[in-house]
Amino acid sequence: MHELVTGLVPGDNLEAEHRAHTLGWLRRTDDVFRRVKPAQPAQHLVSYVVPIDPADGSVLLVEHVNAGLWLPPGGHVEVDEHPHRTAAREIEEELGVTTAPTSEPVFLTVTETVGVDSGHTDVSLWYTVDVPRDRELTPDAGEFHGIRWWSRAEILAADPKLFDPHLTRFLEKLPTAAPDRSGG
């Protein structure tokens, strides 16, 4: 994990702070996995995987039942599971997408959670995956109220409280990561 986080190039000062926080956390613990739902230990790893339409750059977000926000698909990293494997597993379980996400995360955040399971800290590694808008998806109705493709302009024009607090920063960083979005 230390090598994976060290390899991330921060896109801004806040991501640099999150990276430093995460590296310090990794030095202090050998247990980065959620062991007991909803939040034990109180800080643990999450993998987001952001579907991006390769034709127009729009992103698919899910209206998450628990968080009450529009978020990228994703979930908690299982015990001894690599975060990339989590991203691949989650995008398949939640949307039926079997295309591999980027091999390395493109963004890192540390976030206090909101919603029903609030009160813990997610250290989130953000991956991307190319998914054409017209691809048939099978959303997990137990986790989402709905899914929607969003353009950058629509996200920027909407109330920021509808989304993960770091989504616009992710979008700002994305153009530097876009050439390496292929999985593998």
**Residues whose CB falls within 8 Å of the CB of residue 151, separated by 6 or more in sequence, listed in order:** 56, 57, 58
**Residues whose CB falls within 8 Å of the CB of residue 119, separated by 6 or more in sequence, listed in order:** 39, 42, 112, 113
Task: Determine whether 23 is exposed, middle or buried from the number of CB atoms within 10 Å of its CB (0-12, 13-18, 19+).
Answer: middle
The yes-or-no verdict on residue 179 having pLDDT over 50 is no
The yes-or-no verdict on residue 86 having pLDDT over 90 is yes
The answer to whether position 184 is within a domain reads no
Tell me, what's the pLDDT at 108? 97
Tell me, what's the pLDDT at 177? 43
The yes-or-no verdict on residue 147 having pLDDT over 70 is yes
Tell me, what's the pLDDT at 180? 39
Least confident of 5-9, 49-53, 153-157, 178-182: 178-182
Q: Which of 140, 123, 125 is nearest to 34 (CA)?
A: 123
The yes-or-no verdict on residue 152 having pLDDT over 90 is yes
The answer to whether position 183 is within a domain reads no
Q: Rounded to two decimals, what is the model's pTM? A: 0.88
Over residues 88-105, mean pLDDT: 95
The answer to whether position 86 is within a domain reads yes
The answer to whether position 124 is within a domain reads yes
Q: Could you read off the pLDDT of 153-163 as tens digits, one per residue?
A: 999 999 999 99
Largest CA distance in the chain: 45
Of 68 and 36, more confident? 68
The answer to whether position 182 is within a domain reads no
The answer to whether position 6 is within a domain reads yes
Range of the domain at 151: 2-177
* Mean pLDDT computed over every residue of the chain: 87
CB-CB contact of 144 with 112 (8 Å): no
The CATH number given to whatever domain includes residue 166 is 3.90.79.10
Q: How many domains does the chain have?
A: 1
The answer to whether position 12 is within a domain reads yes
Tell me, what's the pLDDT at 99? 94
Over residues 88-107, mean pLDDT: 95
